[in-house]
Amino acid sequence: MQFARKVWHLLVAIKDGLVLLLLLLFFAGLYGVLTARPSSASLKDGALLLKLDGSVVEEPSDQDPLKLLVGVEAPLKQYRVRDLVRALQLAASDDHIKVVVLDLSKFTGGGLVHMEEIGAAMDQVRAAKKPVLTYATAYIDDGVMLAAHASEVWAHPMGGAFVMGPGGTMPYYGKLLKDYGIKIHVFKVGTFKDFVEPYERNDASAPSKEARTALYAAMWEDWKANVARARPKAQIERITKDPVAWFTAAKGDGARAALDAGLIDKVGDNVAFGERVKALAGAGENKDKPGSYAYSKPDALLAAHPLDDGGKAIAVVTVAGEIVDGKAGPGTAGGDRIAKLIDQANADDAKALVLRVDSPGGSVLASEQIRGALNRFKAKGRPVVVSMANLAASGGYWVSTPAQRIFAEPGTVTGSIGIFAVMPSFEDTLARYGVNSDGVRTTPLSGQPDLIGGLSPEVEKLLQANIEQGYARFIGLVGKSRGKSPEEVDAMAQGRVWDGGTARQKGLVDEFGGLPEALKYAASAAKLEKWHAKYYGTEPKGFGGLLEKLFGSDDDDADSGSQGRDLAGLMALRQQDSLARAAAGLLRLGSVQGAQAYCLDCTVAAPPPSPDSHGNWLVRLAVGLGLR
């Protein structure tokens, strides 16, 4: 009996060991598959497929692992603009690529500057005598701009193309907060620093409307000029001045209306479009499947042409998204994280540094932390250059002040030189329910700030004085950087935002150009003949990235059969985005923040949030307001 037990224990141990070994082999194989880099061997003769199921950004964010695990479908993605542009440029010269295809069926947009960069790269492909085709159910502004640079534009019979233009309304909570007895204590400097207006007013002030009108007008003209150059037959004026007449003339048929206005060239479903691409690129592996064509993904093309790493390194550090305290990112510019990246480039002895900024600003403290790291880099006598993308305003301009040269585009939103702080108190609200505060103070600052009893006059004066000192520091930094007196900077600052063209006229920007031009200037300033760009900290990491690869791969197929949104779907998406932004505005009141250098107008330049990020906005709003 004892012998049998020993044999049984041995068999169980062998079984457990084999199970453990198999699990280890499974997870090792899974990790290898998920972390494997694309191989140049996967590059095929045929089309280059850019399937943009999401938004174009400067720096992709980490995916939320919980959303990936519990989501009904794979979340929309973020695509780094630098990779898309380089893939298109390579497609122009790579003999494997016969045609370029942009599937915009689930495209949610991007910033104006990014759209212009991708459009210019599409033009390079067409200049190489290679066709560029786009497909979507329905195109909207950003998609219309990209399609304008294509040689052939397709839309689904139930879709079309629509131009909304920049601008719109936003919620103002002044009366709501007053009705509930919530006092909003605002401390700011700048006539045009309108970020706080939704909390203290019921409408936009005259200075706010003046600045926003000028900004939207400049960006709208830039958009129209770009589309007109790329697609002269597009009747933009006709469809924007009287969209109802244009649409009813086609009897409500969006595809026909878009065709009549020159926005699209062909009408057909994704299978018909696939057959058209097949005629240009060749059949896919599944030759019997309708609409299947041979294609390669951008990763394979990029892998076949690795970046040059010869010569000295020029560091590129990206400040993308809101600037916040701490280590947040990528996709959000945590001050600790960005400063550490700059210090790492400093320790690596990079010969120059280009700061790529695509941020509406945020924390003054975090912005100052990044600026300090740039000054440590400069202390060794090496050049720092700033390249502004869609927006570099408020804190985004604060971090730009150490640069010896600033590059931007006409469509860049910049300026907004001003700071503020907002703090609510609830003494009037609670008094309605018989709640009051009382106690003993040893100084005027004891127990302050008191959100229940209200802020004392001394605290309000101290906070305002501190904000004024911060503003004086801000314009002093700008003046030193741009060779202007504080008075000159103050006259064009006051929290006002500017388009890139006006900012250049005012001396806030030195030169028009993108990241390539900034890198060339940095190399020249560092006296480098042979150099390469070394990018710091731009890759999303963590479990979310692995899950995205595991669960989100099927939707990358060219012939997956998925359709995008029609006009009603696009309108619903925009409405959902507006609701999410309104909720975020209220939630900001309850968050822990210090002095802020943030830009209200910058939402026009930023890509919209992915729709999957909106699902829980109502729950978060309820939690933020104490309703749950």
- Which residues are catalytically annotated? 193, 394
Q: Cβ–Cβ contacts within 10 Å for residue 577, how many?
A: 20
User: CA-CA distances (angstroms) from residue 126 to 81, 119, 122, 623?
Assistant: 19, 11, 6, 52
- DSSP string for residues in 338-372: HHHHHHHHHHTT-SEEEEEEEE-EEEHHHHHHHHH
Handedness of CA 459, 461, 465, 468 (dihedral sign): positive
Q: Which residues of 310-321 are buried (b: 16+ CB within 10 A; e: fewer)?
A: eebbbbbbbbbb
Tokens for 19?
């199970």
SS3 for 476-541 is HHHHHHHCCCHHHHHHHCCCCEEEHHHHHHCCCCCEECCHHHHHHHHHHHCCCCCEEEEEECCCCC
Q: Which long-range contacts (CB under 8 A, 24 or more apart) does 81-84 make?
A: 81/56, 81/57, 81/110, 81/114, 81/117, 81/118, 81/389, 82/58, 82/515, 83/298, 83/302, 84/50, 84/56, 84/118, 84/121, 84/298
108, 41, 94, 31: which is closest to 613 by C-alpha? 108
Tell me which residue of 539, 550, 552 sits closest to 29, measured CA to CA. Answer: 550
